[in-house]
């Protein structure tokens, strides 16, 4: 197996990031600094990254219903709770696929497959993501229409989104809106609602591609089936 793919399957990084590690001199094979990006790892080879030995693990894939107040990271310098705190008994070195904000709840994937993670998060792969947002103000067809045409955030226009008004509370002047997007830009949903004058108070991701959260309470997770993984991969590749 080619060295970058080996590192990806070991959960170290995506193939592209693995190549960057190799170029930076962080990877050794049998004690020798690796410089050949086309090197094929053989049985018995000792592969190390930053002087720590890595092993090719069987790929695993999980879906977690992330509670609010949890960091989408493998660790946190402020010692805050992370998504990995729910996976203490999992032997594989998994990590989150993309991120959900600290105060955003809902569906997040975790894996040790760097190639899969890269496929899910690469900008050119437009996987459908569905969010439910509680916003300040009255959501109407008129003020939500710009979302279906694209709004400018961070100097770039978003791709058209689909919305559904779930609830309107005239007395409290708050609304609940479901929004479907196909991008994954930083804080995108919050910025989109802010751009149309409906600041988000509470946000949750309820669907990712073909996956939902049925049967998963906040803090609960389950392992994905091969069929579910294939569906996600096919969705990313446009099949």
The ranges assigned to domains in the chain are 3-53, 61-124+210-237, 129-208
Q: Which CATH architecture has domain 61-124+210-237?
A: 2-Layer Sandwich (3.30)
- What CATH class does 3-53 carry? alpha beta
pLDDT (0 to 100) of residue 113: 87
pLDDT (0 to 100) of residue 54: 86
Nearest Cα residue to 11 out of 76, 103, 137, 96 = 96
Q: What are phi and psi of 101, to 5 degrees?
A: -55, 155
Over the chain (239 residues), what is each successive 10-residue block's mean pLDDT?
86 83 94 93 91 85 98 89 94 90 96 88 86 97 96 95 95 95 92 97 96 96 96 86
Q: Kindly tell me the burial class for residue 34, based on how many C-beta atoms sit within 10 Å of its own C-beta (0-12, 13-18, 19 or more).
A: buried
What would the DSSP string read from start to end of 160-186? P-EEEEEEEETTTTEEEEEEEES---T
Q: Kindly tell me the burial class for residue 61, based on how many C-beta atoms sit within 10 Å of its own C-beta (0-12, 13-18, 19 or more).
A: buried
Can you name the residues that pair with 117 across neighbouring β-strands? Answer: none
Active site residue 101: yes
Q: Which of 36, 85, 101, 154 is catalytic?
A: 101
pLDDT (0 to 100) of residue 91: 85
Instruction: Tell me how far apart the alpha carbons of residues 206 and 107 are, in angstroms, rounded to a whole number.
Output: 6
Can you name the residues that pair with 134 across neighbouring β-strands? Answer: 176, 202
Instruction: Tell me how far apart the alpha carbons of residues 22 and 15 are, in angstroms, rounded to a whole number.
Output: 10
Contact between residue 67 and residue 218 where contact means Cβ atoms under 8 Å apart: yes
pLDDT (0 to 100) of residue 155: 93
Q: What is the CATH number of domain 129-208?
A: 3.30.70.1560
Q: Do domains 3-53 and 61-124+210-237 have the same CATH topology?
A: no
pLDDT (0 to 100) of residue 199: 97
């Amino acid at each position: 197996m080619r060295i970058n793919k080996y590192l990806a399957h070991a959960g170290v990084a995506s193939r592209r990031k693995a190549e960057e590690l190799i170029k930076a001199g962080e990877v050794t094979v049998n004690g020798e600094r690796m410089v050949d990006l086309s090197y094929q790892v053989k049985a018995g080879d000792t592969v190390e990254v930053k002087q720590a030995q890595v092993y090719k693990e069987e790929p695993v894939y999980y879906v977690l219903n992330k509670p609010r107040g949890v960091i989408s990271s493998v660790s946190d310098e402020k010692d805050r709770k992370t998504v990995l705190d729910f996976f203490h008994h999992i032997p594989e070195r998994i990590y989150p696929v993309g991120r959900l904000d600290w105060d955003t709840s809902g569906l997040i994937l975790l894996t040790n497959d760097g190639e899969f993670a890269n496929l899910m998060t690469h900008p050119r792969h437009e996987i459908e993501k569905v969010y439910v947002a509680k916003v300040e103000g009255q959501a109407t067809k008129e003020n939500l229409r710009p979302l279906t045409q694209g709004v400018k955030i961070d100097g770039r226009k978003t791709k058209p989104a689909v919305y559904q008004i779930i609830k309107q509370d005239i007395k409290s002047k708050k609304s609940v809106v479901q929004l479907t997007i196909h991008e994954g830009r930083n804080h995108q949903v919050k910025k989109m609602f802010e751009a149309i004058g409906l600041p988000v108070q509470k946000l949750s991701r309820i669907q990712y591609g073909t996956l939902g959260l049925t049967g998963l309470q906040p803090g609960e997770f389950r392992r994905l089936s091969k069929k579910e993984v294939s569906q996600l991969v096919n969705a990313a590749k446009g099949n």
